[in-house]
Amino acid sequence: MPVAGARHILVKTKEEAQQLKDRIAKGEDFAEMARKYSQCPSGKQGGDLGEFRPGQMVKPFDDVVFKESVLDVHGPVKTQFGFHLVQTLYRR
């Protein structure tokens, strides 16, 4: 079964997620943005969620991690928790 490592930034609004994504695209550090803005406890670790398998995260999040390109920042991805920017670090 595949495993992946990913990090994310969780915010309340789609607009805020898009603004952070734009800042990251211009060269700001993902982990720094996660520490400052993420509302998930993982923000303290730069958004790092560690390693997980398909089905351990909510489906919209899982779909990005296991189907979309690695190392690109994807999102905003809407879940019941809010809006995520997701970066899959590796998949194997």
Spans of all domains in the chain: 4-91
Q: What is residue 37's predicted lDDT score, i.e. its pLDDT?
A: 98
What is the domain class of 4-91 according to CATH? alpha beta
| End-to-end C-alpha distance for the chain, whole angstroms | 9
Q: How far is CA 70 from CA 8, 42, 64, 88, in A?
A: 13, 19, 9, 5
> Over its length of 92 residues, how does the chain's per-residue pLDDT go in tens digits?
899 999 999 999 999 999 999 999 999 999 999 999 999 999 999 999 999 999 999 999 999 999 999 999 999 999 999 999 999 999 99
- Cα–Cα distance measured from residue 78 to residue 12, given in angstroms and rounded to the nearest whole number: 10
Residue 31's nearest CA partner among 15, 9, 4 is: 9
- Cα–Cα distance measured from residue 10 to residue 85, given in angstroms and rounded to the nearest whole number: 7
Q: What is residue 8's predicted lDDT score, i.e. its pLDDT?
A: 98
Q: What is residue 54's predicted lDDT score, i.e. its pLDDT?
A: 97
Is residue 85 a contact partner of residue 76, using CB atoms and an 8 Å limit? Answer: yes
User: pTM to 2 decimals?
Assistant: 0.96
Alpha-carbon Rg for the chain, nearest whole angstrom, is: 12
